[in-house]
Chain A
Amino acid sequence: MGREVSESCVDSLLTEMVSMYCNRLYANKPELAASRIDAIGYQVGHQLSERYTMERPRFTDHLDAIKFICKDFWSELFKKQIDNLKTNHRGTFVLQDNRFRWLSRMSLDPSPENGDVPQENSEAAAENKAAQVPNMHLHFSCGVIKGALHNLGIACAVSADTSHLPACSFVVRIKP
Chain B
Amino acid sequence: MIVCVAVVGHQNNPLYIQSFTDADDALKLHHIVHCSLDVVDERVNNPKKSGPTLNETFLGLLYPTENYKVYGYLTNTKVKFILVTTDLDVKDADVRNFFRRFHAGYVDAISNPFHEPGKKITSKTFAERVSNIVKSFGFSSTA
Contacts and interface: CB of A to CB of B under 8 A. Distances in A.
A58 B107 contact: no
Interface string A38-51: 00000100110111
Contacts of A53: 75-77
Nearest to B115: A47
Contacts, number: 44
B111 A57 contact: no
Contact of A50 (B56, B110, B113): B110
Contacts of A60: 54-55
Contacts of A153: 10, 77-78
A77 interface: no
Interface of A: 43, 46-47, 49-51, 53-54, 56-60, 151-153
Interface string B95-111: 00000000110110011
B77 A57 contact: no
Given A54-B107, A57-B57, A59-B76, 14 more contacts: A46-B117, A47-B110, A47-B111, A47-B117, A49-B76, A51-B107, A53-B77, A54-B103, A56-B76, A57-B55, A58-B74, A59-B55, A151-B77, A153-B10
A153 B9 CA distance: 12
Nearest to B10: A153
A116 B107 CA distance: 51
B77 A50 contact: yes
- The prevalent SS among residues of B at the interface is loop
A53 B78 CA distance: 11
Given A49-B77, A53-B77, A151-B77, A58 B56 contact: yes
B119 to A, nearest CB: 13
Nearest to A148: B77
A57 B74 CA distance: 10
B55 A152 contact: no
A54 B107 CA distance: 8
Nearest to B58: A57
Contacts of A50: 75, 77, 79, 106-107, 110-111
Interface string B50-77: 0000111100000000000000001111
15 contacts: A47-B117, A49-B77, A50-B75, A50-B79, A50-B106, A51-B111, A53-B75, A54-B104, A56-B57, A57-B57, A58-B55, A58-B57, A58-B74, A58-B76, A152-B77
Candidate in A50, A56, A59, A60 with the most chain B CB atoms within 10 angstroms: A50
Contacts of A58: 55-57, 74, 76
Q: Nearest 10 pairs between A and B by C-beta?
A: A53-B76, A57-B55, A58-B55, A151-B77, A51-B107, A47-B111, A50-B107, A58-B76, A50-B77, A57-B56
A153 B56 CA distance: 17
